[in-house]
Structures are given as structure tokens and as C-alpha cells.
Amino acid sequence: MRTRNWLFQAMTVTAIFIAAGPACDNGPGQPNPPTPGETFTAADGTRFGVQVIATNLEVPWGLAFTPDGRLFFTERTGRVRVFQGGRVLPEPALVLTDIAATGEAGGLGIAMHPQFAENHFVYLVYTYQRPGGGIGNRVVRYRELNNTLAEGVVLVDEIPGANIHDGGRTRFGPDGKLYVTMGDAASENLAQDLGSFAGKILRMNDDGSRPADNPFPSLIYSYGHRNPQGIDWHPATGELWGTEHGSSGNDELNRIVAGGNYGWPTIEGSQSAPGLLPPVLSYSPAVAPSGGSFYTGNAIPSFRFNFFFATLRGLHLHRVRFDPANPRQVGTEERLLVNRFGRIRDVVTGPDGMLYFCTSNRDGRGAPTPDDDRIVRIVPAP
């Protein structure tokens, strides 16, 4: 692996999205969208409604808010777009020129620097076309000005890439470090190879360098992952939680610890072996868990500090509640909005205290409705 910084330009490109073949996150069935004003009731009696705020998007993948309330999101075809003032702005903030939008690869995660209001740094993970052939993944930093991203600097380059299993979620932790999830790039043995960034969760300083307290002499924070796609920190305990795709079922929700080996390909799901960390929760048949977030808003008090994760094959938003007496202990879980929006890719808390998610029905594995893909806001209901 090579870490390097260099300036590059990202201008207009025509990106061709190639639908992926069969895989663990295929999900059948066209969604049955809610009717206007329809409300929903969770198992604990929480009532909520949904508002579709953006439509006709091209596979939105990652969602990230700025402190002033703008929503930046990636589309897997290589665009970064902005939702502001109740609409998606017509001009993209960025169009990547070297995108490899094939199967599960392409424009992936996005994160805002914790001091975005001062430095306007935006971080992306995407799959690129190598000049000599093949594809790879990289982590890039841009500077935002007037809803445009420029001054691109590659922070981490030549991470293994493939048409499937690219991971790609990126977020800043409460420690101020940038975390990035990377899949095994369809080469399962790389997940146990500490010389490769594939099948790992990476942790780095905001300039891409290695933090002195990393558990390994590299950017690797944890390993033995197949295709991790969601990470967030419990607001009360500070613990890192992550979602991961299994090979055939055996999807996982893990508590992530520094230096931990999560077992792939030796174990997965409910299996166990000495020295390997089993998941806290596992799911068979597959739900294909994607982006995940702890709800930290106040608009829906009974959702506060619950962990929500998007599911692709599962066609629902998954809610995990923790024991009020022991926030390290999972309590109950339930499935919300089952097949009302189809495949769901990411979920985040907005600065307005609402919960936002995006769909992924046009990724080649769904059954899109005419207005897919969409961004949806969950709001309290009387």
C-alpha cells in the first residue's frame, strides 16, 4: 500500500454504470411507497412519518451534512451533489473524471471535517480506473467553496478494488480521526493480510498520515472484514459499531475494537474460533446491511441513541435499541418501513434533529419506481 499526497483535477466525465450480477445483497420486489400523510408506529409505540425530499437520483451512496444544514451526497456514478433550500442543486459540486462505476464500485463514502466551518474540508472514498487497467480505491480530500469541491489531494491510494466488496464508508470519530471501511475486494484472503488495506477498517489523521496510537504500524485499525459498510460511535459509551455483509446470510453487527480480528474468511456470522471476534448480532437469511448511524437528534425522543442501519436485500431500515441500564448491551431490534422504499443504502441524523436515508433501487439489483432513487426524511407524527 502507498500513501501519497498529490493535487489532481476532477472535471466532467461520462460514467457508465454497469449493473452487478448476482450477489448477497440482491433484493427482489418493487417498493410499495407510502401515501402522502401516512404514518407508522414502531414496536414501542413511537409514531413517525416520512417525507421524500429528493427524487430521480442516480444511486446515492453516502450522505453528509455541513454545520449550516446543507446535505452533500455522493452518487455512485461519480458525482457529488448538494441538497440546499429544499432542492437538489442542478450543478454537481464535483464530477470525478477517473471513476470506475461498475457493480458495487464507484462514488462511495463522504465525510465532513469536524472543523468544516473553518477549513471546508470534504473527504471522499471512490473507486477509480487505473491507467494501465484494473481498478482501485482511494481516499481523497477536497476543499469546498460555494458548493463546489476543488483542490483535490489523494490521501491514501491503490487500495485493492473490485466490482464487488469495496466497503467505502468514511466518518470522523469522536477522537478526531478519519475512519474508512474497506471490503476484501473479492479476494477473501486479503482480509487476514496485514500488508493489505483490503478487508480492513482504516484509521488516519485528517491528512492521511498514521496516528501514533494505531494498533499496527500502518493505517489498519481492525481486520478480518468481508465487506463492512456502516460505522458509528455510541454517543454514551464512545464504542465503535459496524455493519458487515456475510457471504450467504451471516450478516453482522459488530462492536469494533482497536486491533480486533473479525474472522473473515475463517469465521462469519454466529461461528467462533479462538482469537477471533464474533458479531454481537448476526442475520440469516441475508439483509445486506449498509450505512448505519446512532440517532442523536431530539425530534423523536424515543429513537435517541438507537442504532439505525440501512439494508439492501432486507428492504427495510433496521432499528437496534440498547438496554437503558447498560448501554453496552443490545436490548431489542425491529424492522421499519419494510419494502416501502426498497433498497436502502445510508442513514444519518440531520442537524435539524430528523433522520435521513437514501435508496439504492437503481443500482442494478432493485426494482425502481419511476421517481427512484430518493432521499427521505423521517419526522415525528402526532
For residue 10, pLDDT over 70 is answered with no
Cβ contacts of residue 82 below 8 Å, gap of 6+?
70, 71, 72, 73, 88, 89, 92, 93, 147
Give me the pLDDT at residue 44, please. 97
pLDDT tens per residue across span 186-206: 999 999 999 999 999 999 999
For residue 377, pLDDT over 70 is answered with yes
For residue 381, pLDDT over 90 is answered with yes
Average pLDDT value for residue range 34-59: 96
Give me the pLDDT at residue 144, please. 98
pLDDT tens per residue across span 339-349: 999 999 999 99
For residue 20, pLDDT over 90 is answered with no
Average pLDDT of every residue of the chain: 93
Cell numbers of 370, please?
A: 419511476
Give me the pLDDT at residue 30, please. 79
pLDDT tens per residue across span 252-289: 999 999 999 999 999 999 899 999 999 999 999 999 99
For residue 33, name the pLDDT band (cuts at 50, 70, 90): confident
Cell 448477497 -> residue: 24
Give the long-range contacts of residues 186-189, CB within 8 A, separation 24 or more. 186/162, 187/160, 187/162, 188/226, 188/264, 188/265, 189/265
Give me the pLDDT at residue 24, please. 56
DSSP annotation of 359: E
Give me the pLDDT at residue 5, please. 37
Extents of the domains making up the chain: 38-380
For residue 29, pLDDT over 70 is answered with no
Upstream peptide bond of 285 is cis (omega within 30 degrees of 0)? yes
For residue 116, pLDDT over 60 is answered with yes
pLDDT tens per residue across span 66-102: 999 999 999 999 999 999 999 999 999 999 999 999 9
Q: 2.40.240.10, 2.120.10.30, 2.60.40.420, 2.60.120.680: which CATH number matches 38-380?
A: 2.120.10.30
> In sequence order, what DSSP letters do the residues of 236-262 get, joined into one string?
TT--EEEEE--SSS-EEEEEE-TT-B-
For residue 36, name the pLDDT band (cuts at 50, 70, 90): confident
For residue 38, pLDDT over 80 is answered with yes
Give me the pLDDT at residue 26, please. 61
Integer angstrom CA distances of residue 255 from 36, 166, 239 = 38, 20, 7
For residue 22, pLDDT over 60 is answered with no
Which of 22-26, 201-205, 315-319 is predicted least confidently? Answer: 22-26
Give me the pLDDT at residue 382, please. 86
Give me the pLDDT at residue 199, please. 98
Give me the pLDDT at residue 3, please. 40
Average pLDDT value for residue range 295-311: 98
Give me the pLDDT at residue 137, please. 98
Give me the pLDDT at residue 27, please. 53
Q: Which of 281, 252, 254, 276 is nearest to 266 (CA)?
A: 276
pLDDT tens per residue across span 219-238: 999 999 999 999 999 999 99
Give me the pLDDT at residue 380, please. 97
Contact 303, 381 (CB under 8 A): no
Burial degree of 150 (CB within 10 A; 0-12, 13-18, 19+): middle
Cell 461498475 -> residue: 102
First to last CA, the chain: 53
